[in-house]
Amino acid sequence: MPPSRRKKTHSKPITATAQRPISKKSQMTATVIRTYHTLLKRHAQAEQEGDFTLAASLQQEMDALGGLDAYQKSSLLGQDKGRGGDSSRVLCEWLQELGWGKGEGKRQGKVLEVGALSTKNQISKCGYLDVTRIDLQSQEEGILQQDFMERSAARTDEERFDILSLSLVLNFVPTPAGRGEMLHHIRNFLFPASHYTSSNKESQIEEGGLLFLVLPAPCVENSRYLTEERLEDIMRSLGYVLVKQRTAKKVAYWLWRMVTEGKEWGRHGSKAVSWKKEEMRSGGSRNNFAVVLE
């Protein structure tokens, strides 16, 4: 008898675990998310190329899947604890390591959660964060229906935040340039370095607000155009330094801190004008995820 395929680690779905087999419902959820992402990218490309007949056809396919509402419900189902769960649990863990919490002397603050799917996730329960939630299509009361890219830049401290959470949102933006624009736009909502008193008096870097970024791990591990090092260079050029990083269950998590305002930092401290789409890895099995800053 040939060996069981279940014993071959390379044949398991990427979301499989040793303790829990992947259910048909979970597989269907993942299929909806993957298919919708693919159609969305093809739709954006068709519009860019002026092929509006194809764009209309692809829109019909997205509508047949249930549109954005079906995508969001599938994503919400994917937050179930048994499927790898709520990414904000990682954020809360990291914040506690950095001295945030409920007790005396602990730090507290405001969070803007972009792409919020639930008001019952861990970030909403921790008790030391005031959370503002927005999403393109609100799934429940307590989530403001709003396009983040159309949100006006903050002008006062009341409109700024200590933390911005961008969990599995950047990969939903259909174009590399659009992803770059989103990363640029985030700076408009975080408290600048001048809002805080640096805890390290000897440091020449003043510390501003935090960005919690979550992407599917293949976006940096198997992309033709983006590596972890490239992403870090892009983020440094936008004025961020890396605070925490983790990859687990095929999801990559980063915590970035906005640093000295008014500067753009490259890897060697030089100003970065733009980041183009350049091949970083070769091979036919690579995906085309990229971030472009223009």
How many Å apart are CA 258 and CA 263, to the nearest integer? 10
* Owner of token pair 């954020």: 91
> Which element (helix H / strand E) includes 72?
helix 67-78
Write out the E strands in the chain.
109-114, 129-135, 144-145, 163-167, 210-216, 240-248, 251-258
| Rounded-to-10 torsion of CA 212, 217, 219, 223 | 140
Read off the tokens for 142: 């307590």
Half-sphere exposure of 185 (CA within 13 A, CB side): 16
How many Å apart are CA 196 and CA 223, to the nearest integer? 37
Cβ contacts of 2-10, under 8 Å, gap ≥ 24:
none
How many Å apart are CA 40 and CA 47, to the nearest integer? 11
Closest to 116 in 3D by CA, of 168, 182, 154 = 168
Does residue 86 have a known ligand-binding role?
A: no
Read off the tokens for 200: 């390290």
Does residue 162 have a known ligand-binding role?
A: no
Helices (H), the chain: 24-48, 52-65, 67-78, 88-97, 122-125, 176-186, 218-221, 228-237
Q: What residues are designated binding site for S-adenosyl-L-methionine?
A: 115, 135
Q: What residues are designated binding site?
A: 115, 135
